Structure 1
Amino acid sequence: MSEEVQKTSIKDQVDSVEVISSDSESTTEQEVLEPDVAELPKVVREIVPLEDDPTIQVVTIRYFILSVIFIIPGAFIDTMNSFRTTSAAYSIFFVQIASHWCGKWLARVLPNKQIKFGRFINFNLNPCPWSIKETILVTITASSGATGNLGTNAIALADLFYGEVVSAPKAIFFMWSIVFLGYSVTGFVRNFVMYEPKFTWPQALMQTTLFQTQRKSDEDGKQGSKQMKVFFIALLGLCAWQFFPEFIFPMTSSLAFLCWVAPENYVANFIGSGLGGMGFLNLTLDWSNITSNILLYPYWVQVIQFVAFVLGAWVLIPAVKWGNLSDFKYGLMSNSLFMSNGTKYPTAQLLNSDLSLNETRYAELGPVHLGAQRAYNIFFDYAAYVSGFCFVTLFGYKGIIEAGKKIIESRRKSHSINLQYTDRLNKLQSAYADVPSYYYLILFLCSFITILVILIKGFFAPWWTLFVATAFGVFVCILPLLILYATSGFQLPIGTFNEVIYAYIIQNQKSRHPAGALVYSSIAGDVFYRCQYQMLSLKIGFYNHLPPQTVFWAQIFGELLGVPTNYGALRWVLNTKRDLLTGEKTDPLHQWTAQSLVSYQSNAIQYVVLGPKKLFHHYPMLPYGFLIGVVAPVIVFALHKLFPKSKLKFHLWNTTIFFSTMSNFYGNVSTGYFSQFIGGTITMFWAYRYKHALWKKYNYLLAAALDTGLNLSILLIFLFFSAGKTVTFPEWWGNNGKSIERCFAMG
């Protein structure tokens, strides 16, 4: 480590990709920093430990025990939540806290005893004191396995809408393979975004904050103990509060002030309702509608999202309903498909027994109509997808080229790429062996061949589409969208675009199963999403100085446990909530609606059964979304080049985030967005700028605590009131049976 000290003023603004990182950070005071520390962004220096002890043992039998305990409930809850309208993912912060406690307890009670089974299995039950690194590895394993799986979408769609049940072995092996296919692609892109200090990975910083707070608390640090007290106060407080919006006092989940003023006036109700209306000036006290994004996303991201929400929900929706923006007035707040008279389209009648389109019946029924909101959602979906590539290419090409040069240089010198970087963290990480490239190659081949065999034997999609999905995901999607995620924490949904690609490549096939689009999308999507998840875990390991190979195997182990649990949760939801998911019964909280699955079904009919030609013939403006996605970033880039020092900060006008937010569907729940903007202004603008010391100490910690409290409350409510006999709370003023918002004219 260098002993040289230099005096420098640090300006933590991304140079080559400043447009997609965060607000420019600069310090007015002079800081005395070592050169290798000065290369790190300010937020990283404030959070990430800059020393390491590589001798700490990470993998123990305690790790395996706790991983199993925390993965199974998480995988179940995450899959279950995918059928709800709003929810928060299984809190990985709960795993961080609970596993740390449990690990220290196991370290106290387990004997220091060597165990042998045969010639090859030999381990110590309690080889060393519990360390924060062991906690981190348990958490990384859980973040891999205790998640949902894209493969459940196709399986659920085929079951719920077409009565086709996929066998457990086929489903589980397919779900494993698409995940590992995505993991294997990490070997291709990690060198571009893993080691570059200017890619801060906000999600990784949030988790690192809690890890280091736990470490300080273990070391009897006064500050660490105080932070942990704040964490648990916030956790328990939010957990107790969530019983009100979720069960006792649902009105607090959507405070529709206009409905209180005129509870029987339809116009006022529609404008003010957050559950089926515009959500104008609607507030929520339900953390599941707010989420930790207000404590995580940079403020410029939150401003873009709020502007897009205002335009999408408060401008376009009334322009359609009461103006001339669309001639089709039916189904404005619905993601279903309609006939010209506004009745729901009998999509089942469009299919022959061999799943081909019944052209005669289609001619009798007429063209499929979309609700106007759903139509412009699709338009902006297309724009967001194309914008993602254009924006990163225009603003981040210098960084990509520089990373490429470092990769080439590391290959020439036959050493790890992190040796090409001179910052402190890369120097520390060079003590550990990197994951060999052939690990990823073997994982890729095994996953690819397994999926290929499953598709050949019959799984809704033609076998050759696997080649297209993989190639498109690897060579087109990953790098630009991964850079966006690494710098802003914003993950771009790419499902709709994948379904369009699938529709075009199979349009000449006679038999086209609607679930095939989701099979294709899950393959291409997981090449992207799972790559992101693994990269995030690798970055967490990087920030906390874990061996990369250990992190790699921990993620594999997590998925081996998580996928069978995903399938079990899927079967439970379909068996117990089917009447709510199909709409035979109405959920008063608008939660068990399978809103995402209904959208998938609508997309499948549009793209697979009818084909994109019929859709674009009836909606000729939709393809122009692709054009807008190209033109908008070019305009922003030109403005940035013309006015580089403008106070308008054109480089932060991220069109991808704007278009993606515009593509959000607000049909069931439009509450929360106004509250998010208010909360984000307080946390990421006011507190960050004017109370930075307090923000640095508690911001990410509170994000972790509140998310943990939310998920704990949802789990407790499920166990107390839904696991066995369903218990409903008595009706009262704050839990009105007709409308919990008291928007009675909405029906």
Structure 2
Amino acid sequence: MGGDIAGDKYQPPGKLPLHNFEVEDVEEADDFCPIEQVELTVAATDDPSMAVLTFRAWFLGIISCVLLAFMNQFFGYRQNPIGIDSVVAQIVTLPIGRFMARVLPTTTFVVPLTGWSFTLNPGPFTIKEHVLITIFANCGAGGVYALSIVTIVKALYHRPINPLAAWLLVLTTQMLGYGWAGIFRRFLVDSPYMWWPGKMTSISLFRTMHEEEARKKGGLSRQQFFLMVFVISFAYYVVPSYFFPLISNISVLCYIWKDSILVQQLGSGLQGMGIGSFALDWATASMVTDPISTPGFAIVNVLIGFFLVMYVMTPINYFNNIFDAKKFPFFTSHTFDNMGHRYNISRVINQATFSLDMDGYNSYSKLHLSTFFAFNYGIGFAKLSATIVHVALYHGKTIWELWIKTKSNMKLDVHTRLMKKNYDSVPEWWFHIILILVFGLSLFACEGFGKQLQLPWWGLIFACVLAFFFTLPVGIIQATTSIQIGLNIITEMLIGYVYPGRPLANVAFKTYGYISMAQALSFLADFKLGHYMKIPPKSMFVAQLVGTVVASSVYLGTGWWLLDTVPNICDVAALPEGSPWTCPDDNVFYNASIIWGVIGPMRMFTSKGVYGLLNWWFLVGAVAPLPAYFLSRRYPEKKWLQLVNVPIIMGTGSMPPARSVSFIMWGAVGLYFNIYVYRVHKRWWARYAYVFSAAMSAGIAFMGILTYFALQSYDISIDWWGMGADGGGGDNCPLASCPTAPGIVVKGCPVH
């Protein structure tokens, strides 16, 4: 979560951190390290003879990358997406790597005519091999944003897309940022002041796993605990995934007042406010993000924002009928016309040019949103300006000092000196070749194939310039505060004004402009992890490059297979009742392409549209951090004021696709583990908390895949009330999505 910023002194995971950290300004010495958290977490030693890019690293790394990519994309299309983090591979591959070190032959093989030799087993399984395997797994766990473009084209716009164009789109958006990441290595990796606090937990976990583990008599090692929880999670998940899906979203009020729209709007965990709703499914609780790895203070901030948005601001807007809110459902990401019906996009699109048909638009209707979805865009505007102001207030002086130190002939800390002494750096021309090659392929993807992506060459250049420009300032912020400012709203808005009426041009520009920057920073963050763990830079480079190519291909292959084999996938209106293939993330992406691409911001967020007033939220976001900042300075003894983080409070951007019940269960689980368990059973938390989370996610992932291939793919199903198949979204609240304005006729809803 953004804002997970370490305090003045080193804090173990879960400790409530303060906003700022200290930068020591001491004379250069052999053990010089200016950031205290790094000094206390990262080993200041290196063994250059340790095995790194071995057969074991390649084998386990590629397998981890493929499995995580397949599972994450497979579950990404389902009602409760399950994100399998690389920590699963980090935990699982340790005993496998050690087993391979015991059983593989140590024979040295020589490649004929080259003089190059290798062995399958160079000795004990090392921490450096483990880091590289996790880097491979990270590539598979990171997701592929551009695949949503392929999904909405095939499943929701029902148009063809060339598979080679799709593969180039997926691959180039993932790798374009790598081309200029090398330019910023000196600032964001070599600099001791760019310390990437988000990597400290990973480093701590690596060191913990490779230290000798003393198991108490009658107790469990981490690996044994992981296996136990994994088996329990695996066995249990057949219930919510197949036999009794209703327990994933239990909305109590809907069973008491079956004929009340108001009560079902209040009680539905999927289509309403979720009062009294709960779930008995880990997938529901982890839909927002992993509740255990999120610090307690961040969970509290997010829950405050969730309460204000869902239970205060949205009801005020809805029940006062602002923006004709009562014509539409209380909570949905779908788009509507002025009569409360789903917006018929075919009436405003010229099918020949796949662009806005102005005559059709003028004779049909302006585009409308549900009150929550509209309000959430306002929150998104506010969050953007609030993040900038928050970082400037709390970190502006520190970041400026770090920037000055980095630009000058900065001191080399012990880690940078060890890396420069023991290993060769990656040549600059490697990055230049990638940039030239990937940009050329990007140009071919956009301009070739009959211009299916609609983005012209100048749009691609504009997106690259935007991403390149923001990589360094956003990188400095992320490398010192763990906050990454997203460019999705900026990119959607810019291309929406400059090149309106073209949905694919809008989403392609957003992906090239936003994701290439995010991928560059992801590349640099992993490079910093390798820097601290003393991995040879060339080995890191190769692992990241190969992992990205493999993961991109597997993501696309999995998505393409499901899009071609699951009938009506992602098309919620056409899916059979109770189907899990609702693609919540992609439906949000699709509706964003309509809002920003087809209709455009000029006809949405100005006087020509319905939602021009939402632009005031930019000002609200800029002002919102000021009270907390000045109060924290006025009352420094009140430590809780320093934990107020306005951008995190505005963190309901994942709703939708996340629902009320997801936030409720996420908050309950997170507070239990990171407040109660952390304070009362701290040793247990430190030993098992992250392992528990990884095992739960891994168990439901494997059972979900098993039930699909063994049962669902053969249409072996059961039909009873526990399936939640009543047309109400799966929680038996069919009236929660009904309008309440007089005269609006919607199938299945009473007319007021």
| TM-score band, normalised by shorter chain | 0.7 to 0.9
Mapped to 2, the partners of 1:636 and 1:188 lie a distance apart of 37
2:136 matches 1:141: yes
**Alpha-carbon distance change, 486 to 163 in structure 1, aligned in 2, over 3 angstroms:** farther
On the 8 A contact 1:116/1:122 being kept in 2, the answer is yes
The offset of 1:557, in angstroms, is 0.9
Per the alignment, in what secondary structure is the counterpart of residue 521 of structure 1?
A: helix
Per the alignment, in what secondary structure is the counterpart of residue 621 of structure 1?
A: helix
2:508 matches 1:519: yes
2:271 matches 1:276: yes
The offset of 1:543, in angstroms, is 4.3
Q: Paired residue for 2:332?
A: 334
Q: Paired residue for 2:535?
A: 546
Read off the aligned partner of 1:498 and give its amino acid letter: T
The 5-angstrom pairing of residues 507-586 of structure 1 reads: 507=500, 512-586=501-575
Per the alignment, in what secondary structure is the counterpart of residue 144 of structure 2?
A: coil
| Candidates 77, 91, 102, aligned match of 2:96 | 102
Read off the aligned partner of 1:637 and give its amino acid letter: Y
The offset of 1:297, in angstroms, is 1.9
Percent identity (aligned): 23
Read off the aligned partner of 2:602 and give its amino acid letter: K
Per the alignment, in what secondary structure is the counterpart of residue 636 of structure 2?
A: coil
Mapped to 2, the partners of 1:120 and 1:175 lie a distance apart of 38
Mapped to 2, the partners of 1:216 and 1:225 lie a distance apart of 16
Per the alignment, in what secondary structure is the counterpart of residue 276 of structure 1?
A: coil
On the 8 A contact 1:538/1:551 being kept in 2, the answer is yes
Q: Paired residue for 2:612?
A: 620
Q: Paired residue for 2:384?
A: 385
Q: Tell me, which stretches of 5 or more residues in structure 2 are unaligned?
A: 21-28, 737-747
Mapped to 2, the partners of 1:222 and 1:542 lie a distance apart of 34
Mapped to 1, the partners of 2:74 and 2:476 lie a distance apart of 27
Q: Paired residue for 2:307?
A: 310
| Candidates 464, 470, 473, aligned match of 2:467 | 473
Comparing 110-119 and 361-370, the one that deviates more: 110-119
Q: Tell me, which stretches of 5 or more residues in structure 1 are unaligned?
A: 1-10, 27-33, 411-416
Mapped to 1, the partners of 2:460 and 2:587 lie a distance apart of 24
2:443 matches 1:449: no
Q: TM-score, normalised by structure 2?
A: 0.85
On the 8 A contact 1:335/1:598 being kept in 2, the answer is yes
The offset of 1:496, in angstroms, is 3.4
The offset of 1:479, in angstroms, is 3.5
Per the alignment, in what secondary structure is the counterpart of residue 709 of structure 1?
A: helix
Read off the aligned partner of 1:706 and give its amino acid letter: M
On the 8 A contact 1:85/1:668 being kept in 2, the answer is no
CA offset digits 1:463-496 (Å, max 9, x no partner): 11122212222323663377358645x6665433
Q: Paired residue for 1:89?
A: 83
Q: TM-score, normalised by structure 1?
A: 0.85
On the 8 A contact 1:276/1:667 being kept in 2, the answer is no
The offset of 1:37, in angstroms, is 9.6
CA offset digits 1:270-326 (Å, max 9, x no partner): 312212221124222221222263222222211111111112222334334433444
Read off the aligned partner of 2:696 and give its amino acid letter: L
Mapped to 2, the partners of 1:192 and 1:21 lie a distance apart of 29
Comparing 602-611 and 460-469, the one that deviates more: 602-611
The offset of 1:71, in angstroms, is 2.2
The offset of 1:558, in angstroms, is 0.6
2:235 matches 1:240: yes
Q: Paired residue for 1:676?
A: 666
2:343 matches 1:350: no
**Alpha-carbon distance change, 712 to 514 in structure 1, aligned in 2, over 3 angstroms:** same
2:626 matches 1:637: no
Comparing 199-208 and 514-523, the one that deviates more: 199-208
Mapped to 2, the partners of 1:200 and 1:21 lie a distance apart of 19
Per the alignment, in what secondary structure is the counterpart of residue 672 of structure 1?
A: helix
The offset of 1:187, in angstroms, is 3.1
Comparing 330-339 and 582-591, the one that deviates more: 582-591
**Alpha-carbon distance change, 333 to 736 in structure 1, aligned in 2, over 3 angstroms:** closer
| Candidates 684, 694, 699, aligned match of 2:684 | 694
**Alpha-carbon distance change, 390 to 494 in structure 1, aligned in 2, over 3 angstroms:** same
The offset of 1:349, in angstroms, is 1.7
Mapped to 2, the partners of 1:195 and 1:692 lie a distance apart of 35
RMSD: 3.5
**Alpha-carbon distance change, 36 to 712 in structure 1, aligned in 2, over 3 angstroms:** farther
**Alpha-carbon distance change, 308 to 239 in structure 1, aligned in 2, over 3 angstroms:** same
On the 8 A contact 1:237/1:709 being kept in 2, the answer is yes
Per the alignment, in what secondary structure is the counterpart of residue 356 of structure 2?
A: coil
Per the alignment, in what secondary structure is the counterpart of residue 602 of structure 2?
A: helix
CA offset digits 1:548-595 (Å, max 9, x no partner): 332121000111212222221121121123414223434545742223
**Alpha-carbon distance change, 117 to 714 in structure 1, aligned in 2, over 3 angstroms:** farther
Mapped to 2, the partners of 1:209 and 1:683 lie a distance apart of 19
The offset of 1:379, in angstroms, is 1.1
The offset of 1:345, in angstroms, is 1.8
The offset of 1:188, in angstroms, is 4.5
Read off the aligned partner of 1:389 and give its amino acid letter: I
Aligned length: 708
| Candidates 427, 430, 440, aligned match of 2:431 | 440
Mapped to 2, the partners of 1:63 and 1:741 lie a distance apart of 45
Q: Paired residue for 2:293?
A: 296
Q: Paired residue for 1:178?
A: 173
Q: Paired residue for 2:581?
A: 592
